[in-house]
Amino acid sequence: MKQHIANDIILQSHPMVDELRSTSANGAKGRLLVKQENPYHSHNHICEIGLMEHMVQCAVAKVKQKALLKDKGYTSATVSEISRFSLNFLPKTNETIESAVKVTSMQGGKATAVAAVYVEGEVAAICRINITLR
């Protein structure tokens, strides 16, 4: 199921997710074409913080979508921690990065997700993300 990211889910001035490609009960897959005009672009690559931002925006979109479906009344989400970040390589300009997010827990306005970024099936980066809903 392909869906464009709705403005009520991704509110950043520089969205790092072109498309939320699919969602399941606890997961989501996102996609982004790395462009030269991307704010995290440097020396023909997307930098580490850009990969983190892509994973975070996908994770937040999934967690907010899940909260909206349960009608919990949360209106915002903030990232409280990014941990266990591991980088294998930096994707190049004009490559499409795809992310896979799995929400591992969600209780009382707190969520934890594990995310990975892929380029043509190769893992570029992975991390763990803690999110607080308000």
Question: Once rounded to an integer, what is the mean pLDDT over residues 47-63?
Answer: 93
What CATH number does the domain located at 19-133 have?
3.10.129.10
| Residue predicted with more confidence, 115 or 5 | 115
- Quote the pTM value: 0.87
Chain centroid to CA 41: 17
Q: What angle do CA 94, 98, 102 make, to 5 degrees?
A: 160
Which helix (H) or strand (E) is 48 found in, with range? helix 48-69
Q: What is the pLDDT of residues 32-51, one digit of tens each?
A: 999 999 999 999 999 999 99
Q: For position 5, what pLDDT does the model report?
A: 43
CA distance 43 to 53: 18
Question: Once rounded to an integer, what is the mean pLDDT over residues 82-100?
Answer: 97
- 40-44, 50-54, 73-77, 80-84: least confidently modelled range: 73-77
Q: Are 108 and 73 in contact (CB under 8 A)?
A: no
Q: For position 3, what pLDDT does the model report?
A: 43
